[in-house]
Amino acid sequence: MTSVPPAPEPAALARIIDHTILRPDAGRAEVLRYCEEARTHQFCSVCVNPVHVPLVSGALAGSGVLTCSVIGFPFGAIPGDVTAAEAAWGVAAGAWEVDMVIALGALKDGDCDTVRRDIALVKKACGDATLKVIIETCLLTEQEKITACRLSQEAGADFVKTSTGYSKGGATVEDVALMRRVVGGAMGVKASGGIRTRADALRMLEAGASRIGASASIAIITG
């Protein structure tokens, strides 16, 4: 019988959560509240749209909590050169992590060279910042998920990530397990989209996730 690893304590769980506020109508006061919550609970990062990166970076200075910016979000329908420029701007503005959306149309067309090239361009633009590639699993076949993970790995990304949370589905245990099987232990796997409870988060971790993206972060760590 396979043993299940013990559930992490709330503080340890907090350190693998990206506290996420990506709503287009989020204003300065709400973003700052998320930063204060992240400082209090010591989440891994606060994940925001690029426009908020300078604000978040300043608010989190000295806290040990990272600033994370999404790019090419939420559709991935942006030329690779432009996405790379967006990543470079975000890093210069204070982001230590970058979550990019894969070129979904190119992947669907079987244009692996474009997908790989775009990720590699963004990775170069990130410099020392961590790059996570959002593959939007709910829109992909199983083979496309495998291909997306392999291309991300070949292009030098640090993580693959399930979802934007803005399409027709979010993270599933099955997708997280598949992604972990494909990338092995060489990359991180971020489960994001629809994770609202501690039980949800623990299922993702048991399936192989090493990072959780959520807006319900406080509910997750408090149960």
Active-site annotation, residues: 99, 161, 190
Contacts for 23 with CB less than 8 Å, ≥ 6 apart: none
Reply yes or no: is the peptide bond before residue 74 cis, omega within 30 of 0.
yes
- For residue 83, count other CB atoms closer than 10 A to its CB: 25
Cα–Cα dist 168/163, whole Å: 10
Cα–Cα dist 67/212, whole Å: 15
With contact defined as beta carbons under 8 Å apart, do 159 and 190 qualify? Answer: yes
Cα–Cα dist 199/42, whole Å: 20
- For residue 222, count other CB atoms closer than 10 A to its CB: 11
% helix / strand / coil in the chain, to the nearest 5? 45, 15, 35
Cα–Cα dist 146/183, whole Å: 9
